[in-house]
Amino acid sequence: MTTPFLVAEKLERRVGDTQILAGIDLSVNKGEVVGLIGPSGSGKSSLLRAIAGLDPLTGGRVLVEGRTPVPGDGTVGMVFQQFNLWPHLTAGENVALALRLVRKMTRVEATERARAMLDRVGLLKLADRRPAQLSGGQQQRVAIARTLAMEPRLILFDEPTASLDPELTTEVLDVIRGLAETGMTMLVVSHEMGFVASVSTRAVFLDHGRVLVEGPAKAVFRDAEEPRLRRFLATYLQRVAWAPDPEPAPAPDPGPLTTFALLQQPGAAEAVPPPAGPEGSTMSLLGLPAASPAAPSGFSLLDPVPDPNQKDPKRGA
């Protein structure tokens, strides 16, 4: 029997009277991409931080390839919602600093590798800019390059696009998708449901510090009957798509390929029957009737997603 790449056993974290993680078990195989979803405050960030070893646990343990990761040991890389770039350094220096100080590369070696990493996220030309001179999406791509440069075994993404304007999320999600295709093992917390559904091998729904639903992305997004999960998805869809409206939706706009765009792909409007009730309607907006295995033609959250920006052949290479 092979042990999984990452094992989290009965993770518990309690601060004062608050049970932040209430006994989480999770195992992830090498090369898997696990999507973590759940309402705000359900413990998604806390789970990632626990796996990275950033926050002390009050119970349980984390093993990556049989060892408990310690921050800085090179096992776990993390990409944060707020990017956490170093504002006094250029993009290139942000990527190169740890290569020099931790990997003990010479300045020339580190600069060269930093440039290669920035090239991989499509930012070679902006290597000399400071974070303040970059857009949010560019900053997040620098942060990803900085993490990749250290070759972690596992990368954790904590809402990497949550503080970006909608038109900037695609460029970041594309980079993450490219990484997934290289076989990198990743845990991704995101509210971009279309992205999570299409990129994850497995989805995990957290609520109140527990795993409520776990399984292949298809099953979690389409078939799960857990009421909290259904309510969570319904709320999400109402926010991200449109208010229930029996009139056909306006003409689709070929915008960024987020869930929003998926929902507005041609044929989407026709595929949407008038809402029957709050939950039924949003489920059918997804084109995923909970009971029926056959999704309506035209679009589906689970269809393979074509990459709209296929002009950068190096990405993910």
Partner 1 sequence: MDWAFIEEALPPLLRGAVATVWVSLAAIALGFAAGALIAAASTAGSRGLRGAAALYISFFRGVPLLVQLLLAYYALPFAGIDIPAIIAAVGTLGLCCAAYMAEILRGGLATVPPGAVEAARLLGLTRAQTFLRIRLPIAARTMRPAIVGEAIMIMKASSLISLVGIMELTRTSQALASSTFMPLQSYALCGAIYLVINFVLMAIGWDRKRA
Q: What is the β-pairing status of strands 202-207 and 33-37?
A: parallel
- What is the rounded CA–CA span in Å between residue 140 and residue 118? 11
Report the nearest approach of partner 1 to the CB of residue 82 (Å).
5
154 part of the interface to partner 1, by CB under 8 A: no
Q: Which of 1, 2, 17, 18 binds ligand ADP (CB under 6 A)?
A: 18
Beta bridge partners of 211: 206
Binder of residue 78, out of Mg ion, ligand ADP, partner 1, none (CB less than 5 to 8 A by kind): partner 1
Report the nearest approach of partner 1 to the CB of residue 77 (Å).
7
Cβ neighbour number for residue 41 with a 10 Å cutoff: 13
Q: Phi, psi at residue 219, to the nearest 5°?
A: -65, -45
- What is the rounded CA–CA span in Å between residue 157 and residue 64? 16
- What is the rounded CA–CA span in Å between residue 239 and residue 120? 33
Q: Which of 21, 33, 51, 52 binds partner 1 (CB under 8 A)?
A: 52
Closer by beta carbon to ligand ADP, 38 or else 316: 38
Report the nearest approach of Mg ion to the CB of residue 203 (Å).
17
Q: Which of 115, 141, 146, 222 binds partner 1 (CB under 8 A)?
A: 146
Q: Are 246 and 182 in contact (CB under 8 A)?
A: no
Closer by beta carbon to ligand ADP, 22 or else 117: 22
Q: Which of 35, 43, 92, 122 binds ligand ADP (CB under 6 A)?
A: 43
45 part of the interface to Mg ion, by CB under 5 A: yes
190 part of the interface to Mg ion, by CB under 5 A: no
Token reading at 3 = 């042990």
Q: Phi, psi at residue 179, to the nearest 5°?
A: -65, -40
Round to the nearest angstrom and report the end-to-end CA distance of the chain: 32
Among the listed ranges 12-20, 40-48, 96-104, 303-311, the one in contact with Mg ion (CB under 5 A) is 40-48
Q: Are 207 and 45 in contact (CB under 8 A)?
A: no
* Angle at CA of residue 196, ends 194 and 200, nearest 5°: 130
Closer by beta carbon to ligand ADP, 30 or else 210: 210
Residues of this chain that bind partner 1 (CB under 8 A): 52, 54, 71-74, 76-78, 80, 82-88, 97-98, 101-102, 143, 146-147, 150
Residues of this chain that bind Mg ion (CB under 5 A): 45
